[in-house]
Amino acid sequence: ISKKPDKAIPKVSTRQMEDIRLCYLNASQILRHFWMCFPITDTSTEEKISRMVDSLNKFRVTVLRDMNMKLSIPEQVLIKSINEQIDLAIDAHKQWLTKKTRR
């Protein structure tokens, strides 16, 4: 049986892999708190989710940008899903804001 090679997973150093792992852990913590706010039922939850969105944006601008600078273009695929998860969360917040303003 001939195996077709999947897209090659880039080889990174042990240090880079640890940095990527920590990046995933930190993003997961913020995202977990974000998703726990749904459904938004009161003003304190609204405020908390707004803080989470701010945190996600800051995380993207600081941590992910720095990580992208440390990785080669092929290696950046290793953190692509973090950006996608943040996009999903921010889009959910935007949708909620749109629904809220329609009421």
15 within 8 A of 83, measured Cβ to Cβ: no
- Residue 66 predicted with pLDDT over 70: yes
Question: Position of tokens 């001939």?
Answer: 2
Q: What is the mean pLDDT of residues 95-101?
A: 92
- Average pLDDT rounded to a whole number, residues 66-88: 94
pLDDT band for 6, please (50, 70, 90 cuts): low
Residue type, 9: I
Give the pLDDT confidence of 32-46 residue by residue, as tens digits. 999 999 999 999 999
- In this model, does residue 53 exceed pLDDT 70? yes
Closest-CA residue to 27 (of 70, 71, 57):
57
The model's pTM is: 0.85
Angle ∠(65,70,74) on CA atoms, nearest 5: 95
Q: How far, in Å, CA of 51 to CA of 47, rounded?
A: 6
Q: Is pLDDT of 7 > 80?
A: no
Counting Cα atoms < 13 Å in the Cβ hemisphere of 37 gives 22
Tokens of 18: 């640890």
